[in-house]
């Protein structure tokens, strides 16, 4: 009655206790001591002590989220993209723009050339610069109208059940950027069919 149990009896007794345990809450590990559990809780969810500490934590969390977004903009990872770039409609609009040549993407280099021509003392060079300026603007408008019509038609065919609101403006803004400067980075080559 007051003797110590043998090791065999101690080994068989916990098995009998686990059979009695509720089957919906199996643990499979020993219960931690209270001090260990409290220390672990404090380490995981330690509330900020001061306003300065809270601001520092928020800044670090913001910085980490922005780093993930920047990485996603380069790699094209949908999970971490900004809200304006997410979804199959926006991805299709990006691929649609990236698969074609557009006049608007060369606007900046052409504008620099026109600016240089307009600064020359010759009246003829200034007239040429003015005509080039008007020609470039007309070509950009013409290309934008045709691209937006084609994109709307392709979106109705590919994604009829999705919301297309803002996709055309999103695509046209993307055409204004030079291809290597676009974010998210182009995922397809020119001439390929959009996904």
Q: Which of 48-52, 58-62, 63-67, 141-145 has the highest mean pLDDT?
A: 141-145
3-state helix vs strand vs coil in the chain, percent to 5:
65, 0, 35
| Residue-level pLDDT at 76 | 81
pLDDT digits (tens, 9 = 90+) for 119-138: 999 999 999 999 999 999 99
d(CA 147, CA 145): 6
d(CA 140, CA 99): 17
CB 103 within 8 A of CB 143: yes
pLDDT digits (tens, 9 = 90+) for 59-96: 998 999 899 888 888 888 888 888 889 999 999 999 99
Residue 168 has which token pair? 């055309």
* Distance, first Cα to last Cα, the chain: 78
């Amino acid at each position: 009655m007051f003797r110590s149990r043998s090791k065999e009896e101690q080994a068989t007794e916990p098995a009998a206790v686990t059979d009695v345990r509720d089957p919906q809450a199996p643990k499979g590990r020993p219960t931690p001591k209270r001090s260990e559990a409290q220390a672990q809780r404090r380490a995981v969810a330690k509330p900020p002590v001061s306003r300065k500490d809270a601001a520092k934590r928020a800044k670090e969390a913001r910085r980490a989220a922005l780093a993930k977004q920047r990485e996603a903009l380069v790699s094209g990872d949908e999970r971490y993209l900004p809200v304006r770039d997410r979804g199959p409609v926006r991805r299709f609009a990006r691929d649609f723009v990236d698969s074609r040549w557009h006049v608007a993407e060369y606007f900046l280099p052409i504008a620099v050339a026109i600016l240089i021509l307009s600064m020359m003392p010759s009246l003829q060079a200034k007239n040429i610069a003015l005509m080039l300026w008007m020609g470039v603007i007309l070509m950009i408008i013409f290309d934008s109208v045709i691209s937006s019509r084609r994109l709307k038609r392709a979106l109705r065919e590919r994604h009829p059940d999705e919301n297309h609101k803002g996709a055309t403006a999103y695509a046209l803004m993307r055409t204004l950027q030079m291809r290597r400067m676009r974010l998210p980075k182009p995922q397809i080559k020119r001439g390929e069919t959009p996904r």
